[in-house]
Chain A
């Protein structure tokens, strides 16, 4: 009977909020997403499979750390393969004050120098993937200061009840910076994680879709293990696979330094 109800629910598609009682507001949904525990620190492997519209594949294997210093979030990611870009590193200091630009450094083994880079290009592709620098930085959270939010319906995604959250950039400048005119996210109402998203460009043309197909708990923290992002304009797809996620192993503060960045990946 439950299965029949579920099928009926899916077939019926999204239900507008006006028809439902007690749905949280967009701001409440975002507050729940952003209040979710993501651990003080984490280490993880991330494999990015890049597939173009003809099916040609490229793969990058990376290793990364993230740690909170109070409200300030620092993260670093190193390439492990392919060999020609091995030890390329990307370090970010993400400050709690939204008015303060992030500090970012890129270490290129080909030059053996870490280079200070601007954080203003947050809508640019993150190292050739189909997510932007800002998407990667926010991980599975949503920037409340960049968007106005509204809960526009409910649906079931992969068997999980979700609120449909529609996010519009607060102004044109922000829209251009982010590269999005609108984002619609399907947010799991139990664990407050986005299971699916659709993105529109600043001209409101469909831009890309994201599907998170594997969410599991690690050390008691809900964690994305696999997601697929497809750019509907270019036909390019990136499949992100997270492995060896560890929230318990201490991440030394010194890892987030320019001198550590120059030393390259601490793992093979």
Chain B
């Protein structure tokens, strides 16, 4: 029995025992528990072909139970069915996901997942959250520097809500107040990494992917992934403070980078001797911080992070394994403007700089992205019009997402929008230029 399995078993046994202890008082049980959730259906139609890209129904039930006055349990599940099954065709092998965090695939289109399952309690001044959960760091919207504690599911590239695309991990999360500061400590023995779409998926990665020269046999080995939950676990710390009107944090995260490093070598393939790619994961130290403050109509926020031991693919054929080790400095500066009534305007500058400037790197040494988010509320917030524009300066590619949503009733919301990519196929966003889509959705909450 693996360590994570043991942890789950301990939590379950503990929860059951405590639940039994409370069983005597049924009225109390009713007061201490709540059940809610959402049912969401979204239809995506590709605008270039008129084909349906997805027709998905997602049910997210949430159960909260106060086991005692100082122990609360939260359980969030997800039932998801996509009738089209092009985002993840067939049954993906989930090789990047540690098995306690995997989805249960029933047939091709249907999957069940225990999204979150954790208990919260206080021990003295320390607040503990134990179990499968999401931990979100950083101040940026959409562009990630420090929000890397949880890996991401890229089945819809970056179009899915982060709440849905972030992969929750089995985590020990402690928040310790130290006078006016808060120290958060994380231990994550869950060896799960980004879920990268397979080659036949709608949003398969095509840009910046190393390829073999023509007519040379090519093969990709299975992922070489860390397998010792103790030795290979991630650890992190965040110190937060509110000082002189500033929200400040200092962050440190020692972790495996969730993006696989694909090393190339020579070996035997099905077609003979050729190039063999070996995907794996590498450790990195991430150190950084965040800040935010409001000045009249303007809110300034930002985050910065430096990562050691990042591995970038290179086209240099003389390179031994096809990757170059480098450090990476990344930062986001965000400006939120509240000067117009019922209107929100947000501009962000994101820049990533590699410390190594070797020739042949598949990405530029300095990558710059800009984002603009506009939102206006109408009819007492029942109608919201918004648009997000993300643009990459290096490749002149990006995407635009206009959307209008209407709260029809307290429990029902409908929306319509477009996800439009543009630019070079070599660009991170431009590679999906042919995947532009219109979306229609409805969400019912209970």
Contact = CB atoms under 8 A, between A and B. Distances in A.
Contacts, number: 120
Given A111-B162, A112-B163, A117-B294, A82 B445 contact: yes
A118 B336 contact: yes
Interface string A1-29: 00000000000000000000000000000
B299 interface: yes
A59 interface: yes
B410 A121 contact: no
A121 B338 contact: yes
B26 interface: no
Give the most central of A50, A254, A268: most B CB within 10 Å: A268
Nearest to A127: B381
Contact of B182 (A123, A125, A259): A259
Interface stretch (B33-41, B104-112, B263-271): B33-41
B294 A112 contact: no
Interface in B168-187: 175, 177, 182
B34 A268 contact: yes
A83 B38 contact: yes
B123 to A, nearest CB: 15
Contacts of A50: 380, 382
Interface in B212-260: 240, 242, 245, 247
Nearest to B184: A259
A138 interface: no
B380 A52 contact: yes
Nearest to A100: B245
A83 B163 contact: no
A119 B294 contact: yes
Contact of A254 (B161, B177, B242, B294): B177
B341 A121 contact: yes
A265 to B, nearest CB: 10
Contacts of A236: 379-380
Contact of A120 (B36, B62, B175, B339): B339
B308 interface: no
Question: Chain B: interface residue count, which band?
Answer: 35 or more
Given A58-B382, A110-B163, A128 B409 contact: no
Given A111-B162, A128-B380, A268 B64 contact: yes
Interface residues of A, number: 44
B410 A111 contact: no
A116 B175 contact: no
A258 to B, nearest CB: 7
Contact of A104 (B64, B136, B294, B377): B294
Contacts of A101: 294, 296
Interface string B107-136: 000000000000010000001000000101
Q: By DSSP majority rule, is chain B's interface helix, strand, loop, or mixed? A: strand
B322 to A, nearest CB: 36
B297 A120 contact: yes
B380 A83 contact: no
B84 interface: no
Given A124-B342, A258-B242, A56 B36 contact: no
B445 A83 contact: yes
Interface in A61-105: 81-84, 86, 101, 103-104
B411 interface: yes
B446 interface: yes
A117 B379 contact: no
Contacts of A83: 36-38, 62, 411, 445-446
Contact of B380 (A86, A110, A116, A129): A129
A58 B292 contact: no
B351 to A, nearest CB: 21
Given A110-B161, A118-B297, A128 B141 contact: no
B443 interface: yes
Contact of B294 (A52, A58, A103, A130): A103
Contact of B298 (A60, A110, A118, A254): A118
B410 A86 contact: no
Contacts of A111: 136, 141, 162-163
Contacts of B182: 257, 259
A113 interface: yes
Contact of B443 (A56, A84, A127, A258): A84
B104 to A, nearest CB: 24
B309 interface: no
A82 B380 contact: no
A206 interface: no
Nearest to A108: B163
B294 A116 contact: yes
Contacts of A121: 297, 338, 341
Contacts of A128: 377, 380-382
A116 to B, nearest CB: 4
A211 to B, nearest CB: 18
Contacts of B379: 52, 234, 236
Interface string A243-268: 00000000000100111000100001
Given A82-B411, A83-B36, A116-B294, A52 B163 contact: no
B301 interface: yes
B380 A258 contact: no
Contacts of A117: 294, 299, 336, 338
A121 B411 CA distance: 28
A172 interface: no
B240 A259 contact: yes
Contacts of B413: 84
A125 B163 contact: no
A121 B240 CA distance: 27
Nearest to A110: B163
17 contacts: A59-B410, A83-B411, A83-B445, A86-B36, A112-B136, A115-B301, A115-B336, A118-B338, A121-B297, A123-B341, A124-B341, A128-B377, A128-B380, A258-B240, A259-B240, A263-B120, A268-B34
Interface of B: 31-34, 36-38, 62, 64, 66, 120, 127, 134, 136, 138-139, 141, 161-163, 166, 175, 177, 182, 240, 242, 245, 247, 292-294, 296-299, 301, 336, 338-339, 341-342, 377, 379-382, 407, 409-411, 413, 443, 445-446
4 smallest CB-CB distances across A and B, nearest first, come from A128-B381, A83-B445, A118-B338, A83-B36
